[in-house]
Structure 1
Amino acid sequence: MSRTARRRGGTRANERPDYAKNVQRGGGPGTGRVHEKAVNFGPSLHRLVGELSPHRWKVLLVIVMGFIGVAFNVYSPRLLGRATNVVYEGFIGRMLPAGMTKEQAIAALEAAGRTDQAQMISGLDVVPGQGIDVTRLGRILLVCMALYVLAATLQFLQGYILNRVVQRSVYSMRDQVSDKLDRLPLSYFDAQPRGELLSRITNDIDNIQQTLQQTLSQILNAVLQLVGVLVMMLTVSPRLTLIALCAIPVSLVVSVLIGRASQRRFVGMWTATGVLNGQIEEAFTGHSLVKVFGRRREVEAVFARTNEHLYRQSFGAQAISAVLMPVNFFVGNLTYVAVAVVGGLRVASGQMALGDVTSFIQYSRMFTQPITQVASMANLLQSGVASAERVFEVLDAAEQAPDAEGSLELPVAGHVEFDHVRFSYSPDKPLIDDLSLDARPGQQIAIVGPTGAGKTTMVNLLERFYDVDGGSIRIDGVDVNAVPRAQLRDQLGMVLQDTWLFGGSIRDNIAYGKPGATDDEVVAAAKEAYVDRFVHTLPAGYDTVINDEGTNVSAGEKQLLTIARAFISDPSILILDEATSSVDTRTEALIQKAMGRLREGRTSFVIAHRLSTIRDADIILVMEHGDIVEQGSHDELIAARGAYWRLYQAQFAGDRGAA
């Protein structure tokens, strides 16, 4: 990891715009817009399924097992139809006089004018006077039970293997997103609300996992069952099969129409979820400020509007999707009635056996079941694909330029040159037009100027958080664009005004600046930054765990910890962005002494608002609108009575008035 820390910005919770408005984030003027776009369902679904390709052999095994299991399930009603025939034929045979052949019994019924019964018996395999063949019936039922057991076993194994495939695929997707975030430029994070980005990485990926886990096996089995049942229906009765097939176009048309309508709602639902998460994250992060300025009602009002929007999108998506299942059930019931009526007439006429009709009725139910099943999963599938698109947007985001293969000559002396540098966050708003600077090794360069003058931007360019639009930045004569970012940032140490600590011990937070740092090095850095003084007052000393928000240490103590982190990294070039703004006057004096020792032999850039802290700087740069308007020592700039002198007088007057 880099030894530097990135500046993080954001809008205040009470200034969050309404739902579809642009949101400005971060240190630069990049804009990030939470937007809805037309969903390309087919390609997105294809790409999502493509995430399973590394496990193609397991997926193939699942398909084979599904095919065999469905074949067993599909063939079982045929056996049950035969069992029904055995029972029915035994019942009819017992009613006929013994000692006759089947043909004689039919002739006797026709002679008695019972033609309908004669036609019905002609289609049966009966022996007059003989009852149910229990041996044959038992054999059929045992085979049928064995098929059901085997099908259930294969279904369990299929689900087990598929579950592992899905979990591994989602694991891989999380890895892809994590790696992608490491390759994205800082401008991307500046342009994205943090809650929205977190929602894509957490909620959307979890939703993808749930979708794959619940739909893949069911859709696979549904398709196989649909094909298998169709084949069996054709073997039983082509005429009844045509009646059953009439349900397909109706179900497909309804599913497509309702699916398109619900898809737009699901995109809106997950987009609104990201916006809501962003608002919640900001509101909790800035909770104390919201309370202090009495903006609770405004925050609640903005939250209520977004929550209402999310409710409407979610309700609309679920309500529209919920129509699919009852509609398909209705179509299936109509098919069931038609099959039962036509089949009963054919049994009465002797054209079909009763067992064939009962098995076909089961097949008709099994035929509409996968259609209904897919329809009932449509809302989950639509939701999952909508989430997948949001994750794919992150994976497809433009990455930072690849690292060059050059290198800095070590040890770095610290000669920094800005040569006619041009830069802007957006093409229509130029910020730095022609910036040139020559910082010699060991010099302290102070940068002052009004807010928005480009001071922090200058540092961001040196760190290569952003790349210049024109000109070049060189360290020891080597263009920073020709050096891998990791090697460049290894030579830079940064202490920001906005402190950043992670949830871990004080020891770990200091050692973050130097991977593999020893305890002695941590303690030495802590002493140099005057952290050691207050650490011993804590219950667990250096093992005291800082919570995620860092609220169990004061703002000044957090600042000291970040300074200790810079000490332990032992950088060649030091960057201080108002590094002592959160400490008291006495601690500031101590830190200034420590910084003086740290700066010895190193080039340092100090961004300062309190001009008293940079009086001894070798060069003071005064920036306005992205350009250096003055440079020189403190005495030289005061004597010039220019921009620096005006800043100094304004601050002195402000301090005197405050006193």
Structure 2
Amino acid sequence: MNDERSNDILSFDSEISIEKAKDTKKTLKRLMKLLLNQKWKLIVVIFFAIMSLAFTMIAPLIFSEAINTIYDGIKNTSSSSYFNIRFDIIMKLAFILLGIYLLSFISNYIQQYIMASVAQTLVLSIRKKISEKLTKVTLKYYDTHKKGEILSRISNDLEKVSDTLQSGLMQFITAVLSIIGAVSLMIFINWILALVAIFIIIMGIIAASMFEKKSINYFTNRQESLGKFNGQIEEYFTGQMEVKAFNMEEDIIKAVEMSNEKLYLDEKKAQFITYAINPLIRLMNQVGYVVIAAIGAIFAIQGRLSIGIIQAFFQYVDQASEPLTEAAYILNSMQAAIASAERVFEILDEVEEAGDIADNQIISNPKGNIEFKNIRFGYEKEILISGVSLKVTAGQKVAIVGPTGAGKTTLINLLIRFYDLNSGKIEIDGIDITNLKRSDLRALFGMVLQDSWLFDGSIKDNISYGREGADISEIQNSARLAKIDDFIRALPHGYDTVLSDENSSISQGQKQLLCIARAILADPKILILDEATSSVDTRTELEIQNAMDNLMKGRTSFIIAHRLSTIKNADKILVMDKGNIVEQGTHGELLTKNGLYNKIYNSQFSHGK
């Protein structure tokens, strides 16, 4: 059996398709558009980059003057006297060089400082957009994407974009400007030698472009593999108890090894293509040096070029070839950032929940009358809710039961507009819920779900999460109704106790009670309890049930339950199966019908009698 499950996992992972770069130009254009929001900062950065480059370009000419001064002093000295070298000129040139290098350093520092601000401001704006976006996307997005993959895009991918913008982009711009400046000065010095250098540079550009085409796909594959690997690890860590309980450790190890191996191979290809171009261009540069040195020697002998100018020319060759190597390296490494940016933009492009209509209605004095009118919901190939109609009067306690997958939770999700209907209508107090703002609609509800959710913070803050500004007495009263007050007071810091993942003193059942206290404090008009007592023991369940009975008086309540003992006193019980309400009535009425409810009830209570 384990071998079969292992094969299923391995085959599933092996069938995951690797996305290629979708549109590099579009992504780069979009990234640049965001950068242009800080165009004045960029103009300042480019200005100081040009200043730094200009000072760097002047330096070889100053060196050439110094070398020619030394050479002339040696050449014009007879064999019987000391070298006639003008050291005053040499010292003057040395001070000029120091000043040039200092100005170059200051210009470079300023442009690097401002560019760091530009990069971090851009990333901050993207993070804000993502945070806002993730609150607006439909629940379908979270249903179809692994948490680890989403987190990988927000953290790893965005960090890659930040690093590249902060360092790589400015280096690339500076490298291009250096090449242009150096080539221009080489042509000014000697066009023949310049042609040789330009030929070498062009060959380097061709080699770089060939590697670039390969690197785009490799970096995209690497980022995709990283995202899937992170998602897999997150999934297995959160489910480690189930993994151990079902003896799936070896299967999981095999699956992770396969994902890890794939990530290793994609990473190796991406890194190889990044670093392989560097020695290739350097080799081409060395060949160019030999040719330029030979031709330069001939020109020096002929008196067409001075020794100092030839030395300056070699420096300009370095200033052109080294930035070319650097630009090629950065260009290849930027593919990782482009692939990452593409994945980040995919989140920003996700479909959002349908917007609220312009002319919103308001339920000023909610009562809790609810009506489902022939609602239908599902996807293209799967209909989950089909033709459900139902009336619930204010204050009624409605229980929803049925087998797994019957559509119980889906019905509630439609009521709160977590999903929008395909057809039909849901009304609260006679108003179509689509005519209400989502925030106003959801403010009518209080929810306690099967999976308790608490955040890192004090118990007091967690209970008051749904009602900002609640005072401590109200918080304590809601905790007493939820039968959790005594436990909280027994903690070392009471209501100020900070909850976290490392806090092992809070059991799952106690977390559920805190969520129930939160719902009580919110004091909603409509209550939704989705297996709210599933994680507590029978005795605690009875205590909570008594508190819930008092809480639900005067409020419309929906209770999703598998344990039918908790909903016997419901005003109306809906029995759902395959997306339809197949039976409805009170507990006694449904038992006499001898239908699905009767079967479910007997399956729970007939055994062990």
TM-score range relative to shorter protein: over 0.9
Corresponding residue for 2:357? 404
SS in 1 for 2:490: coil
Contact persistence 1:85–1:354 (CA under 8 A): yes
Contact persistence 1:620–1:631 (CA under 8 A): yes
Residue of 235, 242, 245 corresponding to 1:292: 245
Listed as ranges, the matches of 1:238-637 within 5 Å are 238-405=191-358, 406-424=360-378, 426-548=379-501, 551-637=504-590
After TM superposition, give the deviation of residue 537 of structure 1 in Å. Answer: 2.2
Q: Does 2:111 align with 1:158?
A: yes
Corresponding residue for 1:53? 36
Aligned mates of 1:35, 1:551 — CA distance in 2 = 40
Q: Does 2:29 align with 1:76?
A: no
After TM superposition, give the deviation of residue 97 of structure 1 in Å. Answer: 11
Decide whether aligned partners of structure 1 residues 314 and 356 sit closer, same or farther in structure 2, where only a CA change above 3 A counts.
same
Q: Does 2:47 align with 1:93?
A: no
Contact persistence 1:14–1:299 (CA under 8 A): no
Residue of 48, 53, 64 corresponding to 1:65: 48
Decide whether aligned partners of structure 1 residues 411 and 34 sit closer, same or farther in structure 2, where only a CA change above 3 A counts.
farther
AA at the equivalent of 1:411: N
After TM superposition, give the deviation of residue 279 of structure 1 in Å. Answer: 1.6
Decide whether aligned partners of structure 1 residues 68 and 94 sit closer, same or farther in structure 2, where only a CA change above 3 A counts.
same
After TM superposition, give the deviation of residue 21 of structure 1 in Å. Answer: 6.8
Corresponding residue for 1:111? none
The alignment's C-alpha RMSD in Å is 2.0
SS in 2 for 1:172: helix
Contact persistence 1:36–1:268 (CA under 8 A): yes
Contact persistence 1:20–1:34 (CA under 8 A): no
AA at the equivalent of 2:140: S
- Map Cα deviations across residues 502-552 of structure 1 (whole Å, 9 max, x no partner): 122211111112122211111111011111021122222112222237643
Aligned mates of 1:393, 1:459 — CA distance in 2 = 29
Aligned mates of 1:52, 1:403 — CA distance in 2 = 31
Decide whether aligned partners of structure 1 residues 481 and 646 sit closer, same or farther in structure 2, where only a CA change above 3 A counts.
same
Aligned mates of 2:302, 2:470 — CA distance in 1 = 92
Corresponding residue for 1:140? 93
Corresponding residue for 1:204? 157
AA at the equivalent of 1:581: S
Scaled by the length of structure 2, the TM-score of the pair is 0.96
Aligned mates of 2:21, 2:93 — CA distance in 1 = 55
SS in 2 for 1:510: helix
- Map Cα deviations across residues 595-622 of structure 1 (whole Å, 9 max, x no partner): 1111111111111111121111111111
Corresponding residue for 1:106? none
Aligned mates of 1:483, 1:53 — CA distance in 2 = 38
SS in 2 for 1:512: helix
After TM superposition, give the deviation of residue 137 of structure 1 in Å. Answer: 2.7
SS in 2 for 1:421: strand
SS in 1 for 2:575: strand
Contact persistence 1:177–1:394 (CA under 8 A): yes
Contact persistence 2:575–2:582 (CA under 8 A): yes
SS in 2 for 1:323: helix
After TM superposition, give the deviation of residue 18 of structure 1 in Å. Answer: 5.4
Aligned mates of 1:635, 1:534 — CA distance in 2 = 37
Q: Does 2:39 align with 1:36?
A: no
SS in 1 for 2:442: helix
Aligned mates of 1:212, 1:622 — CA distance in 2 = 58
AA at the equivalent of 2:58: Y
Q: Percent identity?
A: 41
Decide whether aligned partners of structure 1 residues 96 and 49 sit closer, same or farther in structure 2, where only a CA change above 3 A counts.
farther
Q: Does 2:605 align with 1:641?
A: no
Contact persistence 2:371–2:428 (CA under 8 A): yes
- Map Cα deviations across residues 624-659 of structure 1 (whole Å, 9 max, x no partner): 110111111111111222222222222222xx23x7
SS in 1 for 2:153: helix
- Map Cα deviations across residues 203-260 of structure 1 (whole Å, 9 max, x no partner): 1111111111121221121121111112211111111111100023211221122122
After TM superposition, give the deviation of residue 13 of structure 1 in Å. Answer: 12
Corresponding residue for 1:195? 148
After TM superposition, give the deviation of residue 17 of structure 1 in Å. Answer: 6.3
Decide whether aligned partners of structure 1 residues 17 and 529 sit closer, same or farther in structure 2, where only a CA change above 3 A counts.
farther
Decide whether aligned partners of structure 1 residues 16 and 588 sit closer, same or farther in structure 2, where only a CA change above 3 A counts.
farther
Aligned mates of 1:385, 1:549 — CA distance in 2 = 37
Aligned mates of 2:306, 2:181 — CA distance in 1 = 21
Choose 55-64 or 139-148, whichever is displaced more.
Answer: 139-148
Aligned mates of 1:519, 1:53 — CA distance in 2 = 49
Corresponding residue for 1:103? none
Aligned mates of 2:6, 2:399 — CA distance in 1 = 33
After TM superposition, give the deviation of residue 496 of structure 1 in Å. Answer: 0.7
Structure 1 residues without counterparts, runs of 5 or longer? 1-11, 23-32, 99-128
- Map Cα deviations across residues 56-75 of structure 1 (whole Å, 9 max, x no partner): 11110010011111011011
AA at the equivalent of 2:373: D
SS in 2 for 1:621: strand
Aligned mates of 1:487, 1:555 — CA distance in 2 = 31
Aligned mates of 1:413, 1:323 — CA distance in 2 = 71
Aligned mates of 1:550, 1:393 — CA distance in 2 = 36
Scaled by the length of structure 1, the TM-score of the pair is 0.88
AA at the equivalent of 1:409: I
Decide whether aligned partners of structure 1 residues 489 and 293 sit closer, same or farther in structure 2, where only a CA change above 3 A counts.
same
AA at the equivalent of 2:587: H
Aligned mates of 1:450, 1:226 — CA distance in 2 = 71
Aligned mates of 1:592, 1:543 — CA distance in 2 = 27
Corresponding residue for 1:124? none
Contact persistence 1:90–1:130 (CA under 8 A): yes
Aligned mates of 2:518, 2:468 — CA distance in 1 = 11
After TM superposition, give the deviation of residue 16 of structure 1 in Å. Answer: 5.8
Contact persistence 1:34–1:271 (CA under 8 A): no
AA at the equivalent of 2:173: L
Contact persistence 1:335–1:364 (CA under 8 A): no
